[in-house]
Structures are given as C-alpha cells and as structure tokens.
A and B are shown apart, each in its own frame.
Chain A
Amino acid sequence: MLEIKDLHAGFEGTEILKGISLSINKGETHAIMGPNGSGKSTLAKILSGHPSYEVFSGEVIYEGKNLLDLSAEDRSLAGVFMGFQYPVEIPGVNNAEFLRMAYNARLVNEGKDELDPLDFDDILQEKMDLLGMENKYKERNCNDGFSGGEKKKNEILQMAILKPALSVLDETDSGLDIDALRVVANGVNKLNNENNALILITHYQRLLDYIKPDFVHVLSHGKIIKSGGKELAHELEAQGYDWLTTTN
C-alpha cells in the first residue's frame, strides 16, 4: 500500500530525512520510535504534504500512485490521514461543522450528496460515544482551548469519522491520561482492519501494549537504524536508544 524509497527530505534546504525506505502493506501496523528531533514528525508531514517541507530525492508510492505528486487535500481524499502531534486551534469554527465539512469533502469527491447537519450528527454521535467524548465537544470551536489530551482525542475522532486507508498518528499517546489512552487505543483498534494500515509514532511502549504493532522501526538522525518486531519496543523501553546508536 505504501512504499517509501530512499527518501531525502527536509525544509529550507536542510536535509532532515537522510534516506528512508519503508514498505507497508494493508492490514499492518508499524510503530516508529526514536529520539527527539530524529525526524519522525518530519516524515509524517512529508507523507501528508505539508507545504513547508520539501523532498530532495526519493519516491513515495501509495496505492500505485506517486504520492508526492498529490496536493495535501488530494492525499487526504485518497485516504491518507495524519493525527497531528500538536493539533492547531481553529477559533470561530465549530468542531461539529469542521468535521462535517471534512466528511462532506469526501462524499463530494466520491460523487455523493453532502450530509446535512442532522444526518451527520448520527454518525458523529456514534463515534463520540466510541471515544467516550462528551457532547460539548460538538459545540466548541475546533481544538480551541482544548486541553492537550482533548486535542489528541479530537484527532482520533476525526480519524474515526473519515475512516482513512492509511493513518499516521504522531504521538497521539502523549498527553492522554491512562484511561483516555485505553479508550483511544480501543477506538483505534476497532477501526483497524485488513484493508487499512497504521503508522504509530510514539515514545512509549505503553501504547504498543494496547495497539500491537507488526513492526517497530527506530529512526535516528533521519535514518531507520533498526527494524524489528514488537519485542524491539521492549528492548528500547529497557535500554534507551544509546545501545543502538553505539553498537551500530
């Protein structure tokens, strides 16, 4: 489903990703771990088409298409979702309305009719129940004044509503309390199936106890320095990154 080949990328001429290759199949969950500043969020932004970042060389093939040729909007419509590490606040824009716009953009793209607020509310309500979110998050403005954890939940709510084929969740676990983490992880697990794939960027083993990854990759200084199975995360938790960078 996703094939990243020798990707060199960064921003303003600075190379941050220094040759990343990664292959992801449908139904798989890949965890990406690595020290602060190693380029994890940069990879997520490159995949989702953030305009401030540039690709110097390499390829990204998604469902047979050159992903890098698509605009951010088209990537989203093609099923690529990013859960932001730091979701931005959108004052003045009602959260439920924002979600409906995003949902309708997909419907229109598929040649279907848009949903009115009432019909959309049925879908929204179901997903909010799934994530144990209170109704007030419909009425509030999108992320505006949300706590760190509330913002992260709101990201997963969007994911639940948009049902993307490929989700890149950038440190969704950071900021969530213990109960919220469980609820969100359960929510994500319910969305997982053999037709979609998940990239989980995280610092903590704890998330991976709930959402079991098929692969774990360690990113350091813009390169994947180690890949392995779920047990790699345990080793990292126990020993930190030093043993990897020094033994390599």
Chain B
Amino acid sequence: MESKDNSVSEALDNEYKYGFVTDVESDTFAKGLNEEVVRAISKKKKEPEFMLNFRLKAYEKWLTMKEPVWPNVQYPPIDFQNISYYSEPKQKKKLDSLDEVDPEILNTFEKLGIPLEEQKKLANVAVDAVFDSVSVATTHKKKLMEVGIIFCPISEALNDYPELIEEYLGTVVPVGDNFYAALNSAVFTDGSFVYIPPDTISPMEISTYFRINTEETGQFERTLIICAENSYVSYLEGCTAPQFDTNQLHAAVVELVTLDNAEIKYSTVQNWYAGDPETGKGGIYNFVTKRGKCQGEKSKISWTQVETGSAITWKYPSCILQGDGSVGEFYSVALTNGHMQADTGTKMMHIGKNTRSSIISKGISADHSSNSYRGLVRVGKSATNARNYTQCDSMLVGDQSSAHTFPYIETGNSSLQIEHEASTSKISEEQLFYFEQRGISRENAIATIINGFCKDVFKQLPMEFAVEAQKLLTLKLENSVG
C-alpha cells in the first residue's frame, strides 16, 4: 500500500519543460546593490525625478528592514549582494513594432506557447511580454487605445503618463510595506501598466507573460492597474523561467485600484521552475506582494491564482475593501510537489460598510512538499455588516507531504458574519483502482480527481486560461506510473 502511495506522487512529477535558456546578448549590471545601483537603474530608464525619489526612499527603508521569518518555509539566507539587479536583452534602439524584436526572444515566447505574432493578429488577448527585466513586446496597443485604454510597459508609462503613476504608485503597497516590496520599489525595472478610463469595458483580455532568462538576475517587476468608474477589465498573468541550479529571486509587486462600480479580475497561472524534484536544488524564490484596493463604492477585485511552480512561494493577494459595498474575492489552487514549499493565501481588509469577501483555497501537496494556507480577515470598526466566506481544502498525495492552514480573524465589529469551512482529503489507492477497474488510466484518474478538486477555482478563470491551467496540472502528472 505504501509503495503504491509513492507511485501516486511519482505520477505528479514531470520534467519542467520550460527549462531552456535563450541565447540573446544581454546587458547586465554587475552584481550587488547600493544607492548607485538604484540611481543607475532610474537613469537607464530615463525616469522623472519623483520616481528616483520613490526608489531612494524605498531603498532607505529596505536597509532598515529584515526578511520576514513568519512564513512556514525554509531556505538558506539570500545574499542580496550576489544578485544582479538589471538585465536587458541587448538591442540597439527603441522598438517600433514586433518585427524588430530579437527573433530569439520571440521564439522563446513561442516555445512557451505565447505566439505574440499570432496573438497580435488573432485578437482576443493583448500581451505584454517581460523578458528578464525588460518589456519586449506589447501587442494590441492601438486597438486598446481606440477606447482610451492604456496598456504599456510601466517604464514607458513613467515617461508618457507620469501624473497617473505619481498619483497611484505605492498607494496600495507603500514602499515600506514589507521587505520584498521595499526591495522591489527600489529596484524594479519593468512590468505592465494598465489604465481603464471611466465607463469602459475592456474589449479584450489583457495579459502579461514574465520570463526570467539570465542566471543570477532577480526579476522585480511592477504592475499597476487602475480601473476607473464603471469599468471592467480581466487581466491575465503567466510566468516561466529556465532551469538553473542556483535559486533565482522573483520579488514582484502588483497594485490594483478600482474606483466606484469598477471591477478588476486578475488571474495568474504561475509555473516558475521549481527546482530539481529529487534534490530540491535550484528554482525560483517567488516572494510577491499583490494587493488591490477597492477604493470606490461597490467596486470589486477578484484574484484567481493557479500556483504550480517555484521552489518557494510566498504570496498573499489581498484586498482592501475601502468603498462601501465593495467586494473582494480570492480563488486559489496551489500545487506543490518535489521539495517545493508554498505559503500562500490572502488578506481581506474590511473597512467600508456592507463589504463582502470570499476566499476559496485549494492546496494540493505531493512528494516532500509543504503547502500552507495563511489567510487573514480583518474587519475594522467602520465596517458594519461585513461578510466573509472562507473555504479551505487540502489534498494530500502520498505520505510525505504536508498541508497546513492558518486562518486568522481580527474583528473590531460585532456585526460581522463569517462562515468558515475546511477539509483535508487524500487521493486513495481505492479511488485510483476504481478508475482503473473501469478502464481509465491512472494518470487520467489523478488528473480527473485533481481537476474535480479544483473545479470551483478553475471556473473563475477565463476560458483559455482554465484550459491552460488544467493542462498544466495534468502535465505535472504526466510522468506516469506503470
């Protein structure tokens, strides 16, 4: 019975298929971080004065901060002086069209299943592709511009729309919010910027793909999305990285703002390289701060994430429910296998009256991995009639993995209505045998059970992404057992 349980977890392993390195010349800063590096990044990007000050302030803060130790993850100390803070694929001049992008980079994105060329023509998703630290291609810009939507690399927005950036950047995640957010605020190099003007439903889904290519560079991208009154946008984010023996740091910050009656739906499928499944060597440290602020009344922010990669994930997409009647949602699937560690969850901060939040978290742990859900529901004095629904399900595969849940509730208000459900289950040998007895392969059985377990989250994803997420989980199960 026991050995068979191991084989269940073996079925969850698969080789990481995005582990290739692209051969492009890049312009990479020497390793190390100091004030000069911060200034150099800002200068390289020809940034306005306020941005440099923002960075310097963040850097100062960062110097006084310590890495958080509360997450339920273990890793050797990171040497922040042994990381290069800027890497840019070498190219002579600013690009006017996709045709001028280094074909090697385009090939890379194609291998990742994101044919930019095709997407440019096919049309329902606008893509911004970030390669190492720099945004290499943004598609559909023109079409979006026609309805007044701004979608561009944040470095470009700093020059073209400085007043918008100055007004919103750092208002959701302040520069000194946490160790990694401070670091990001000091050294971020690129990312995406989206602005949806009032009364506008985005005519297409907007999407960014992140790719870390160079060894020993960190990726610190910054995303800012503003959705003005009565507007709606669905934003997708995907990530991969090549396979290196050393760990790479990914410390992104994402800030979302919704004004009155606006809605942002933010979906992530994360598949960073998770390290060697046997030894645990290498892989991405994914230390990300994602937060949205429902600033306006009756506005809504919905986070959906499918986390399948990274050696360590430390991530809590959160909502500040400031506007009266605003709604925050968090739907998450986190799969850990090999030696992966994930500590992920959400924070719902109820400030406005009649605010509602719901949290649906599905953790799947296999092999030697550890999977923790950490969630906080905080209800302020002013937040009368707040409501929260939390459902936290864990699934264990094999006998050596672990699942933990850490739900916290802090309430300053007695009118809070809260509902909490939790469960832990296991894929049993009896279940797999039942499928096999009906002629269904073991791999299909595992994939079907896991898809069933994740259904409530998958159905939140836009169609193409749901298909991709399902495929990804199935792919993780591909190296099947006999």
Contacts and interface: CB of A to CB of B under 8 A. Distances in A.
Interface in A85-143: 87-88, 90-94, 97-98, 101-102, 105-106, 109, 141
Q: Which of B425, B431, B442 has the most CB of A within 10 A?
A: B431
A105 B455 contact: no
A28 to B, nearest CB: 22
Given A51-B429, A88-B428, A92-B449, A76 B437 contact: yes
B444 interface: yes
Contacts of A77: 439
A122 B448 CA distance: 23
Contacts of B69: none
B453 interface: yes
B79 interface: no
Interface in A142-177: 158, 162
Contact of A93 (B430, B439, B448): B448
Interface string B440-455: 1110100011011101
B455 A92 contact: yes
Contacts of A109: 439
Contacts, number: 75
A197 to B, nearest CB: 17
Contacts of B440: 73, 101-102, 105
A55 interface: no
B438 interface: yes
Contacts of A82: 437
A93 B434 contact: no
Interface bracket on B: 20 to 34
A105 B444 CA distance: 10
Contacts of B434: 84, 87-88, 90
Nearest to A89: B431
A162 B452 contact: no
Given A77-B439, A102-B438, A162-B439, A50 B452 contact: no
Nearest to B427: A90
B437 A93 contact: no
B4 interface: yes
B473 to A, nearest CB: 13
B436 interface: yes
B122 interface: no
Interface string A173-205: 000000000000000000000000000000000
Q: Which of A81, A98, A141 has the most CB of B within 10 A?
A: A98
19 contacts: A49-B437, A71-B436, A72-B437, A73-B439, A73-B440, A73-B441, A73-B442, A84-B437, A88-B434, A91-B425, A93-B448, A93-B449, A97-B448, A98-B438, A98-B448, A101-B435, A105-B439, A105-B441, A162-B439
